[in-house]
């Protein structure tokens, strides 16, 4: 799955990172800061495949593993109920076999040591041993839109995640935002060079010397 995203665009987005692209996009798309990677070295830039399911239930996640296209990252809404381990080692192995890019949840996960050893990229709001059910009548949905925090995410949007956090870029604006991110990166490199030469950040940014 590329949702029209080239390999070059994904590589650039992954390198630029969530914070730069959040700023470059006009400070939009930041998921709740509680969502963190299990390994700070993990980075994701991939199209979203959304999955919504009930609190304390992960049946829809099992379904999502087989509905999502290769290369997608699963983005999970569960009513922001994080006191459960919706995802663990068995599901990560299944997702690896399907060549998915990662799993991002507003809920909790477990089997942390196994997940880190597998290297399947997992970002979650909590680590929790509390198990979940698999209700056949549980309400849920695949491949549509979900709301994580105050961000509405639609399947196909570009998700960029790293140690700083997770940002979602609308698919139709992703290329423009990544290009703006590259411009921002170049400007910041110039600023760092000026700082190393002895210039002051107050002067570079035109900030007031004293409190008003």
Answer yes or no: is 201 within a domain: no
Beta bridge partners of 108: 85, 126
What are the backbone dihedrals phi and psi of residue 123, each rounded to the nearest 5 degrees, phi first? -125, 130
Q: What is the pLDDT of residues 156-180, one digit of tens each?
A: 999 999 999 999 999 999 999 999 9
Answer yes or no: is 107 within a domain: yes
Q: Average pLDDT for residues 141-165, to the nearest whole number?
A: 97
Answer yes or no: is 197 within a domain: no
> Cβ neighbours of residue 25 under 8 Å, at least 6 residues apart?
167, 169, 173, 177, 180, 181
How many domains does the chain divide into? 1
Q: Determine the structural domain holding residue 14 and report its residue range.
A: 7-188
Taking the CA atoms of 134, 138, 130 and 67 in sequence, report the sign of the dihedral they define: positive
Q: What is the pLDDT of residues 28-81, one digit of tens each?
A: 999 999 999 999 999 999 999 999 999 999 999 999 999 999 999 999 999 999
Query: Average pLDDT over the chain, rounded to whole?
Result: 95
86 contacts 108 by C-beta, under 8 angstroms = yes
Quick one: pLDDT at residue 2?
46
Q: Which domain CATH number covers 156?
A: 3.50.30.40
Quick one: pLDDT at residue 135?
87
CA dist., res. 55 & res. 57, Å (int): 6
Quick one: pLDDT at residue 51?
98
């Amino acid at each position: 799955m590329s949702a029209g995203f080239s390999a070059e665009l994904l590589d650039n987005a992954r390198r630029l990172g969530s914070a730069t692209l959040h700023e470059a996009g006009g400070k939009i798309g930041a998921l709740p800061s509680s969502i963190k990677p299990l390994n700070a070295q993990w980075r994701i830039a991939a199209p979203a495949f959304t999955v919504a399911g009930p609190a304390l239930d992960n049946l829809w996640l099992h379904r999502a593993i087989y509905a999502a296209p290769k290369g997608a990252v699963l983005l999970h809404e569960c009513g922001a109920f994080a006191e459960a381990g919706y995802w663990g080692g068995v599901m990560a192995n299944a997702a690896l076999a399907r060549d998915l890019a990662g799993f991002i949840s507003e809920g909790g996960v477990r089997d942390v040591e196994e997940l880190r050893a597998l290297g399947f990229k997992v970002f979650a709001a909590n680590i929790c041993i509390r198990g979940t059910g698999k209700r056949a009548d549980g309400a849920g949905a695949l491949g549509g839109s979900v709301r994580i925090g105050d961000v509405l995410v639609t399947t196909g949007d570009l998700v960029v995640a790293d140690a700083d956090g997770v940002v979602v870029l609308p698919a139709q604006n992703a290329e423009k935002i990544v290009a703006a991110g590259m411009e921002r990166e170049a400007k910041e490199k110039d600023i760092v060079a000026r700082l190393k030469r002895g210039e002051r950040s107050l002067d570079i940014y035109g900030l007031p010397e004293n409190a008003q």
